[in-house]
Structure 1
Amino acid sequence: MIAEGNELFRKKPVLKSEDWWAVWLGLFIFLLSMGPVFGMELLGWVVKVNVWVDSSKALAPVSKTFQNLPGIYSALLTYLFLMGITTIGAVAMGTKAKKYIVGFSIIFWITFLCLFLGNNGYIAATPDKQASLKIPWSLSLGEMGFVIAMIVGLIIGNFFQGFAKYLEGAAKPEWFIKTGIVILGAAIGIKTVGALGLANTVIIRGLCAVIEAYLIYWPVTYFIARKYFKFTPEWAAPLASGVSICGVSAAIATSAAIRARALIPAILSAVIIVFVAVEMLILPLLAQTWLYSEPMVAGSWMGLAVKSDGGAVSSGAIADSLIRAKALTDLGIKWEEGWILMVATTTKVFIDIFIGVWAFILAVVWSVFRIDKSKTKNVGSKVSAGEIWERFPKFIIGFGLTFLILLLLGLNNPGIVKPATVGADQANALRTFFFALCFFSIGMVTNVRKLWAAGMGRIVGVYVICLFGFIIWFGLLVSWLFYHGITPPVIGG
């Protein structure tokens, strides 16, 4: 059994699990998105924020079937729908309904405004859309609404802490992004049917890249933490997992596997969140500058380098937009949307799958060799398969289901590909909101000052040296080796 008092590692009831609620909400939206396959549009009313110069044309339902529905009403329906389904989950997980509804409402409309501003034509328009919008120039910074949302969240979290405290019950970055990833599985599944050879390449190479990175990232980070920063194994193992694998999830899973004290993953999580925010701002821009002719390399790099599910997938979404815009401007190539994001997501999903495997390996090693037995309570005790299952990221199950269902249906009956694509696009409009809510929430819960107040200089030192010293750059090298020369399908070519 897990040590009593170690609250981070207590087994949660299914109805209290954020991971399982991500699966259920994602699958519910996926089921609604299957409406067009049966001649119904159950999500066609969801609002889409268009690239705009005239603000009256910014909002519209995602489906032309609902074209007579005013955009502001579509936005209101989207808000009510998301508030309703997430409130059910939040209340089940223990949040008070009234507090969540108020907090979510404020977060949603701030985030919505950020998306609206980020889609201004002078910010977001790609070169091919400038003529239709009658503008002479644009920054071509698609998905800038995500970045604006995170910056606003950072300002609130660090300078308006009373307000942030009031909203924190509704700011659930991992829940939002995991739900979005479950939804994303359907879009990737149907996209795979249309370009099966390329998708197979992405999956196989992504798996190889992740294994390669695991075998190098973790041991090097562990060695540096132990040798040069004098961390005990109890600290060094979760730190190595958090820096080199998948951030908070990996740090918590590793801590559970080796029976580390609860404060260790809690402190590490604070550091990880800050560095994820930094990576999300910097790496997509570097990818646009260096890798606009190697889009799949960029996607893999986001998946390997950014150390959280939300950060990696969101960075992939930004890189997807930025790189396609620059490729169109500089190379005259119009790549199909979503493939860069697909590579980033696939890479991150494989990393998440391996969290459970890695935690199991470490649990066995710590048990057999009784590492750090003088400092870590209960080290050497048996670790059950149930505990490993408890640490496995459940949203991966939802992602896999939505991906496989549409992949198999599309392969078995090519006639449903077109309506299934319509449905997946409608669900993706909701996925955009989940991603944006994640961005805002990540910013809001990131309190930079607390890191230093807690005296975490050595942890930050390991993170800076390992992440910026070799992990980011080795991830770029691995991505180049596996994806160099592979490009998305060309639109109109």
Structure 2
Amino acid sequence: MIHQDTNASVSGKVPMLKNEDWWAVWLGLFIFLLGLGPVFGSDLLGWVVKVNTWTDISKSFGPLSKTFKDMSAFTSLFLTYLFLLVLTAVGAKAMGANLKRFVIGFTVIFAITILCLIVGDNAYIAASPDKQAKLGISWSLGLGEMGFIIAMIVGLIIGNFFPGIAQYLEEAAKPEWFIKTGIVILGAAVGIKTLGAVGLATTVIVRGLCAVVEAYLIYWPVVYFVARKYFKFTPEWAAPLASGISICGVSAAIATGGAIRSRPIVPVILSAVIIVFVAVEMLILPWFATSVLHEEPMVAGAWMGLAVKSDGGAVASGAITDSMIRAKVLKETGVQYEEGWMLMTATTTKVFIDIFIGVWAFILAIIWCMFNLNKKGGGPVEDRAVSAGEIWDRFPKFVIGFALTFLVLLLWGLSDASVIKTAKVGIDEANGFRTILFALCFFSIGLITNVRKLWDAGMGRIVAVYAVCLFGFILWVGLLISWIFYHGILPPIVSS
């Protein structure tokens, strides 16, 4: 059971209406535009369901906005489900999904995900120290994003112990589509944050751009060398493996496979291993970062963007790290950081990495064509014409959506400060969808992660290369780079 990436095919090009990234842009922009309603005097998204930290389960969820305080919680939940179902079903149908199976699968996935969020937001699990007295409890774990982890664990259980159910639900399990749509919406939230602290936001963006260079100039050649020298992989296998481990997981492996014209089976097999390792990183790294980097929160955020090798995994890990470090710092020092800055750092770093996937695929295509590496390495022997259009074909289109929502809010707020307050209200409501999409991503990652694939014949060497490179140097070089660029930079503090 392997996730099919509809952003970059092995052949190199996906029609616009079948492109997962473009659908992420369109859906994300649609939700963003609705979120601008308060600027024009209309609350268009206040009915979106929000899961609350609770001691009384009857108050565990309800409408996000006070404008809809008279709406029942279940009406809010149903409208949110229906809205997302219609939007995603339209996109799924256009991308070739079986509509009936998608609708059923999405319904089940949505229901399980919401239940996981509710469980994870129990006060004893999720409440931050400053909320304990108000909730009438004397202690809590302070794990504000635990619902995401519970969702992934439940997905892993279904995916590995109930394969028949998982196979049916897989039609609607689209982790990268969910997270990319959420990232488009997140761009607006980043824009709002930038208006509140322009100097810090500029620092994050500039340093994030600098930091990603190491993913290409350090990670990639070292992984390629290790795969060729010590594990005897041919260039056809070593190049997609290096991209998948060092750059951006499944998307980079598939883009590289298409650029060098590897056999289709190569990135498909690599994808199975990458997804499993992403799940492992998501379970481990946020906790480790919270333990050792709580005094350097922006370093922790950047590290998630550099270390976790998928868009969904990196951004979701950034969200968990953001929540856990804020709770730990508040409990130990009484300092309350503004929410979202570590997430912003992880997302910005990851987006910059994604931007260069197309450029990197283009460079590799030229090198493989010039030196006939596939012929020498046992791969396909046909020559290919290298076109500048390769960059556009490989470019992750959802980045366009992220940039648009970010720039619209930033430029609008800079030109007219009076819109910032109402725009923030609407974007917070749009972010309600972003939270749900992130959670759907977590569950879907678990669902499509078949751990038994690791033990399939022929995958041992791939797993070994991944483990050696990831735990041997990628994590620690990424931590060092994050430290160099973000050491001493702290998020804004919430005023009392």
TM-score (norm 2): 0.97
Q: How far 1:70 moved relative to its partner?
A: 1.5
Quote the residue 1:456 is aligned against: 459
Q: How far 1:14 moved relative to its partner?
A: 1.2
Q: 1:344 aligns with which of 343, 346, 349?
A: 346
Q: Does 1:295 align with 2:284?
A: no
Quote the residue 1:471 is aligned against: 474
Q: How far 1:214 moved relative to its partner?
A: 2.1
Shift in alpha-carbon separation, 1:11–1:356, aligned structure 2, 3 A: closer
Quote the residue 1:3 is aligned against: none
Alignment of 1:413-432 (within 5 A): 413-432=416-435
Tell me the secondary structure at the aligned position of residue 96 of structure 2. Answer: coil
Letter in structure 2 aligned against 1:428:
N
Alignment of 1:205-216 (within 5 A): 205-216=207-218
- Cα distance in 1 for partners of 2:373, 2:458 equals 26
Q: 2:139 aligns with which of 137, 151, 154?
A: 137
Letter in structure 1 aligned against 2:172:
A
- Cα distance in 2 for partners of 1:376, 1:382 equals 17
Letter in structure 1 aligned against 2:429:
Q
Q: How far 1:454 moved relative to its partner?
A: 3.6
Quote the residue 1:328 is aligned against: 330
Quote the residue 1:486 is aligned against: 489
Alignment of 1:263-278 (within 5 A): 263-278=265-280
Q: What does the per-residue CA deviation read over 1:352-377, in whole Å, with 9 as the maximum and x for residues that have no partner? A: 00111111111111122222324232
Quote the residue 2:159 is aligned against: 157
Letter in structure 2 aligned against 1:252:
I
Letter in structure 2 aligned against 1:431:
R
5+ residue gaps, structure 2: 1-7
Q: How far 1:7 moved relative to its partner?
A: 6.7
Quote the residue 2:392 is aligned against: 389
Superposed CA RMSD: 1.2
Q: Does 1:16 align with 2:18?
A: yes
Alignment of 1:208-357 (within 5 A): 208-357=210-359
- Cα distance in 2 for partners of 1:224, 1:419 equals 53
- Cα distance in 1 for partners of 2:25, 2:389 equals 19
Letter in structure 1 aligned against 2:345:
V
Q: How far 1:213 moved relative to its partner?
A: 3.3
Checking the alignment, whether the CA contact within 8 Å between 2:12 and 2:393 is kept in structure 1 is: no
Tell me the secondary structure at the aligned position of residue 62 of structure 2. Answer: strand
- Cα distance in 1 for partners of 2:215, 2:13 equals 30
Q: How far 1:212 moved relative to its partner?
A: 2.7
- Cα distance in 2 for partners of 1:62, 1:206 equals 32
Checking the alignment, whether the CA contact within 8 Å between 1:150 and 1:444 is kept in structure 2 is: yes
Q: Does 1:147 align with 2:149?
A: yes
Q: How far 1:379 moved relative to its partner?
A: 5.8
Quote the residue 2:190 is aligned against: 188
Q: How far 1:387 moved relative to its partner?
A: 3.1
Q: How far 1:380 moved relative to its partner?
A: 4.5
- Cα distance in 2 for partners of 1:7, 1:431 equals 26
Alignment of 1:25-40 (within 5 A): 25-40=27-42
Checking the alignment, whether the CA contact within 8 Å between 1:373 and 1:380 is kept in structure 2 is: no
Checking the alignment, whether the CA contact within 8 Å between 2:302 and 2:349 is kept in structure 1 is: yes
- Cα distance in 2 for partners of 1:405, 1:226 equals 46
Q: How far 1:115 moved relative to its partner?
A: 0.4
- Cα distance in 2 for partners of 1:352, 1:378 equals 29
Checking the alignment, whether the CA contact within 8 Å between 1:366 and 1:380 is kept in structure 2 is: no
- Cα distance in 2 for partners of 1:11, 1:253 equals 10
Quote the residue 2:73 is aligned against: 71
- Cα distance in 2 for partners of 1:7, 1:395 equals 16
Q: What does the per-residue CA deviation read over 1:294-329, in whole Å, with 9 as the maximum and x for residues that have no partner? A: 110000000000000000000000000000000101
Checking the alignment, whether the CA contact within 8 Å between 1:302 and 1:313 is kept in structure 2 is: yes
Checking the alignment, whether the CA contact within 8 Å between 1:37 and 1:419 is kept in structure 2 is: yes
Checking the alignment, whether the CA contact within 8 Å between 2:336 and 2:493 is kept in structure 1 is: yes
- Cα distance in 1 for partners of 2:451, 2:245 equals 18
Tell me the secondary structure at the aligned position of residue 372 of structure 1. Answer: helix
Shift in alpha-carbon separation, 1:454–1:182, aligned structure 2, 3 A: farther
Letter in structure 1 aligned against 2:312:
G
- Cα distance in 2 for partners of 1:257, 1:212 equals 21
Checking the alignment, whether the CA contact within 8 Å between 2:362 and 2:390 is kept in structure 1 is: no
- Cα distance in 2 for partners of 1:353, 1:240 equals 17
Shift in alpha-carbon separation, 1:379–1:251, aligned structure 2, 3 A: farther
Checking the alignment, whether the CA contact within 8 Å between 2:12 and 2:255 is kept in structure 1 is: no
Q: Greater shift after overlay, 359-368 or 115-124?
A: 359-368
Quote the residue 1:199 is aligned against: 201
Q: How far 1:481 moved relative to its partner?
A: 0.6
Q: 1:399 aligns with which of 393, 399, 402?
A: 402
- Cα distance in 2 for partners of 1:9, 1:146 equals 34
Q: How far 1:384 moved relative to its partner?
A: 1.8
Checking the alignment, whether the CA contact within 8 Å between 2:9 and 2:254 is kept in structure 1 is: no
5+ residue gaps, structure 1: 1-5
Tell me the secondary structure at the aligned position of residue 9 of structure 1. Answer: coil
Q: How far 1:386 moved relative to its partner?
A: 2.5
Q: What does the per-residue CA deviation read over 1:429-465, in whole Å, with 9 as the maximum and x for residues that have no partner? A: 0001110001000000000112212420100000000
Checking the alignment, whether the CA contact within 8 Å between 2:226 and 2:465 is kept in structure 1 is: yes
Letter in structure 1 aligned against 2:275:
I
Q: How far 1:57 moved relative to its partner?
A: 1.5
Checking the alignment, whether the CA contact within 8 Å between 1:213 and 1:478 is kept in structure 2 is: no
Letter in structure 2 aligned against 1:298:
A
Shift in alpha-carbon separation, 1:476–1:443, aligned structure 2, 3 A: same
Checking the alignment, whether the CA contact within 8 Å between 2:304 and 2:318 is kept in structure 1 is: yes
Alignment of 1:39-118 (within 5 A): 39-118=41-120
Q: Greater shift after overlay, 115-124 or 97-106?
A: 97-106
- Cα distance in 2 for partners of 1:41, 1:149 equals 30
Q: What is the number of equivalent residue pairs in this alignment?
A: 488
Quote the residue 1:166 is aligned against: 168
